[in-house]
Amino acid sequence: MVATPAGQASLMGKVLGPYQIETLIGRGAMGSVYLAKDTDLGRKVALKVLLGSLARNPDQIARFQQEARSAAPLQHPNIVAIYDTGIRQGVPFIAMEYVEGEPLDRFLRRNGCIDWRNALHIARQVAKALDCAHQAGIVHRDVKPANILIDKNGHVRLTDFGIAKAYENQTGHTDHGQLLGTPKYMSPEQCQEGAKISPASDLYSLGVTLFEMISGKLPFEASSNVALIKRITNDEAPRLNKVMRGIPDDVARVTAHLMERNASARPESASVVVLAFSRLLQENGGKSALPEALDAFIREMAEPRPLGNAATPLPAKRRTHHGQKHQRAYHYAPISGMARTAAAILIVCAAAGGAYWQHLKPLGPQPAAPVLEPVEFSSLEGGAIQVPLPHEQWRVNSIHWIGARNAVVVSVAGRDGGMLHGTQGLLAIDLDTRRVISLQAPAGPMIMADYAQYQPMSASLGLLPPLPAKTPLYESIVCPVFDRGGRREGGSIRLVPQAWNEAVPRAQVLLECGIDAWDPKLLNPWAKLGPGAAAIHPEGNALLALLREDGSNSSLLQEFGVGGWRATVRNTWRFPGESIAPQSVQYTPDGTHALFMKILRNGDTELCAVNTQSGAEAPRPVHSGPLDPAYAVHPSGDHVAVMNRKQRQATIQFAGLESTMIAGGAVEGDFGPEAWHPSGDYLVARMVDTETGLDQLYSVGMGGTEAPERLTHFETGVLWHASVSRDGAWAATAVETRSGAAVVFSPLQAVGPRS
C-alpha cells in the first residue's frame, strides 16, 4: 500500500502478533492501513485491518479475507504481494507488501492528464498484472486508479483484490443484489443483474482508466449512479481523439476496443492488450530503452522524496483535469538498468535556487551509470567490431573518443518520423570491457507532452581530449543544466561535468549564464542563433563557451578558468551582429589557439583563429568560402583540414593558421573533427565507393597527390564520418543493419604512413 498520512488511529503503537504498528498510512472502504514492522523478518509491511463493527461482522470478515485468498497465489512484479492474514486480538488483518509511493488517482489529481505514451506505459503494466490474475482464474472486478499504485521507482502495482473472485459462474452482484465495484469504472455487464463477469470486465475498466489518464475526464459522467449506470449500459463510449486533440488513431482505437459494450467484442485477453500496448510504444523485443525512460518520467512526477544529494526538480507547465496550469518537474535518468540497480539516482535537470550545484559537494562516490544488457559486440571481417544501438529507431548524432581510453561517447536521436522522433540520449561504449553504458535517458516529445517548450538540455558534446587525471573535466562531458529559478529573469543555464561512466553530473558549476545567452530557442523558437556550445582546453583547466550577447543577436566567445568551484572569466571576444556555427568551437592540440566557424552574411563560412594566450588580439581569418562547419585540426596544431562544398564536391584544403594555402585535393566525401590519424600523415574521410555507390572510409594523404585508400568494406556502407582514437588504433563510425543502426570500430593498425 502507499504512504498517505491520514492522522492518528487507535492501533498506532500497538502490536498484532509479530507486527509492530508504527503509523496510519491510509483508509480503505472496509478498514484502515498501517505501516508496521514485521519483527520476525525485520521488514516493513502494510497492515490492512478491519475495525469497529466491521471486525465483528462474519460476512464482512469473510469478504475481507477474500482479498488475501484471491491475491496470495498471484506472484507478479505488478501485483502487491500478500504475506499473511489472520485475526489477532479480535482484529482481522492482512499483511502485504509495503509500496512506497502513491495511488494513481492521487497522481492524476496532482499532475493532471498525462501524455498518451506515459498512460500506455502505466496501463501496460496493469495489463500484465491482469494477465497474471486471469490466467489464475481470478477477475479483479474493481480496476480503477485508486487501486493502481506507483512506487518511488516508477513501477506500477495492482492492489485491492477485495471483491475479486474466480470468474466461473460469477455475476456482478452479491446475493442481495448489491453492486460490487466502483460505478464510474464498471463494465456494462457489471451493471446488469445476473450478467456473467469475465476477464473482459477488467479490460473494460482498464480502458476507462486509460481514457481518464489521457483525457483528464471519464468517458461517462452523470449526476447520480443510477443515471451513470444507464449511460454505461446503453451508450457507446466517446472516441478518445474526439475528446483530446493530437491522439493517434491507433491509441484511440485500442482504447475504444477495450470499452466495447459487448464483452465478446473486446480484446480476447490481457496478454493481447499487453502486445497491443507494446506495439504502440514501439518496443524492440521487450528490451527497449523506452520503458525505463517512462519509468523515470513516472518516478520524477511522484511526490518529492529525499534521494541522497539529488536536487529539487525543475518546474514546468502542465494541465490538470480542469484545465488550470500547474507546475511539473522533469529530469534526466539512466536509459536502462534502473530496475536492476539500487544506484538508479535521478540525473536532475535543474535545481530550484541552485543550492545543490552552487554549494553542495558530492556525498561519497558518484553512482556508476547503468550498463545496458545484453548488448552483443560482434566481430566482423578484417577485425572490425560492431555494437548495435539499444533501439532500432535511434540514429547516431556524433561519436567522440574519451580522452586516451578505448571508449567513445555516442549521442543518439530518434529517427525522423518514427515513434522516437525528437528524442535524444547519450551512450558510452567501452571496447576494453565490452560494455554499453547509459549516460542520459532519451528525452523528447514522445516522453514529455510539453517538451517543445520545456525541453531538458542535452549535453554539449565536443572533443574530449586526454586530460590530467586531477583536473575537474577528466574524462567528462559537459552537461548544461536548466534552472528556471536561477539568478536571472527567466532562469539560467549552468554547465556541470559528468564523468563518462557515472550516472549523475558532479556538483561543480563550470559556468553560469542566462537561458537566452545559451540557447535562445528555448525562449524564442524563431531566434536566429543556435544553441551554445563549449570546448574543453587540452590542459583541463579552461572552458571555451559559445554564447549569445545579452539582449542582442551578437555572438560571444568567453574562456573560463575551471580550477575552483566557480568559473572565472579569462578572455572575452565579441562579434556584434554575427553568428558562429554551433559545435564549431575547439582548441588546437596545444591549447594556444581556439578555432571556430563564423557564418558570413552571404551564406559562406569563415574559419577563424584566436590566440588564447593573448586575449587582447582580435580573431584572425584562416580561410573562407562555402565551407562545411566541420573541420579537423592537424595533431601538430599548424594546419587545419576544411571541406569546400562548392558544386556538390567536398574539397579538402590544408590551411595554415596564418591563412597560407599549403595543398589541396578533391575528395567525394566528408570528415569530422577527429579525422586525423595521430601520426599526422593522413586523415580518415567518408567517401563514395565508385564500384558499389556506397559510402566507405578512406585514408587521405596530407599531400593531396595520392589516390585515397579504402579502409572499410561494409555491405551497407557507413552512415557517419569517422572518429579516430587517440592511439590511432581504431576509426569509429556508424552503419545500418537489419535491426537498426550500429557503431562500428574499424582497425587502423594495417594502414601505413602516407606522404
Helix axis angle, 116-135 to 199-215, nearest 10°: 170
Say what the pLDDT of residue 30 is: 66
Rounded to whole angstroms, the Cα distance separating 560 from 263 reads 67
- Round to whole Å and give the CA distance between 60 and 178: 14
- pLDDT per position as a tens digit, 625-678: 888 888 899 898 888 888 887 755 666 666 665 444 344 455 667 888 999 999
530 has a pLDDT exceeding 70: no
* Beta-ladder partners of 598: 580, 606
Interaxial angle between packed helices 249-258 and 270-280, expressed in degrees from 0 to 180 and rounded to the nearest 10: 170
> Which residue numbers are catalytic?
142
* pLDDT exceeds 90 at position 185: yes
CATH number, span 15-97: 3.30.200.20
- Nearest alpha carbon to residue 607 among 636, 644, 555: 644
Q: Is the pLDDT of residue 690 over 70?
A: yes
Query: H-type helices in 441-544, by residue range?
Result: 515-518
Residue ranges of the chain that CATH labels 3.30.200.20 = 15-97
Q: Report the alpha-carbon distance of residue 725 to residue 407 in Å, rounded.
A: 9
The ranges of the chain annotated as CATH 1.10.510.10 are 101-280
- Residue 212 predicted with pLDDT over 90: yes
Does 50 have pLDDT greater than 80? Answer: yes
- Residue-wise pLDDT for 59-115, tens only, equals 888 877 777 777 778 888 899 888 888 888 888 898 988 888 888 998 888 778 888
DSSP state of 590: T
Say whether pLDDT at 201 is over 90.
yes
Amino acid at 434: R
Q: Where residue 359 falls among pLDDT bands split at 50, 70, 90?
A: very low
Query: Phi and psi dihedrals of 679, rounded to 5?
Result: -70, -20
* Average pLDDT of the residues of the chain: 76
Percentage of the chain beyond pLDDT 90 is: 24
Distance, CA of 477 to CA of 462 (rounded, Å): 8
| Helix, strand, coil fractions of the chain, as percent rounded to 5 | 20, 35, 45
Whose CA is closest to 512, among 474, 568, 461? Answer: 568
Over residues 213-258, the pLDDT tens digits come to 999 999 998 888 889 999 999 999 999 988 888 888 889 999 999 9
Q: How confident is the model at residue 45 (pLDDT cuts 50, 70, 90)?
A: very high
Q: Report the pLDDT value the prediction gives residue 744, as an integer from 0 to 100.
A: 96
Query: What's domain 101-280's superfamily in CATH?
Result: Transferase(Phosphotransferase) domain 1 (1.10.510.10)
- Cell 490538470 maps to which residue? 320
- Judged by phi (left if over 0) then psi (alpha if -120 to 50, else beta), residue 303 lies in beta
Q: Is the pLDDT of residue 351 over 50?
A: no
Per-residue model confidence as pLDDT tens digits over 373-399: 778 899 998 899 999 998 777 889 899
pLDDT digits (tens, 9 = 90+) for 502-525: 887 877 788 888 777 877 665 554
Cell of 169: 459462474
Q: Which helix (H) or strand (E) holds 388?
A: strand 385-388
pLDDT band of residue 306 (cuts 50, 70, 90) is very low
Q: CATH 2.120.10.30 residue ranges in the chain?
A: 626-755
**Is the predicted pLDDT of residue 315 greater than 60, yes or no?**
no
CATH superfamily label, 626-755: TolB, C-terminal domain (2.120.10.30)
What confidence tens digit (pLDDT) does each residue in 551-571 have? 667 888 888 888 765 668 888
- pLDDT of residue 134 exceeding 50, the answer is yes
Report the pLDDT value the prediction gives residue 225, as an integer from 0 to 100: 87
CA 204 to chain CA centroid, nearest Å: 31
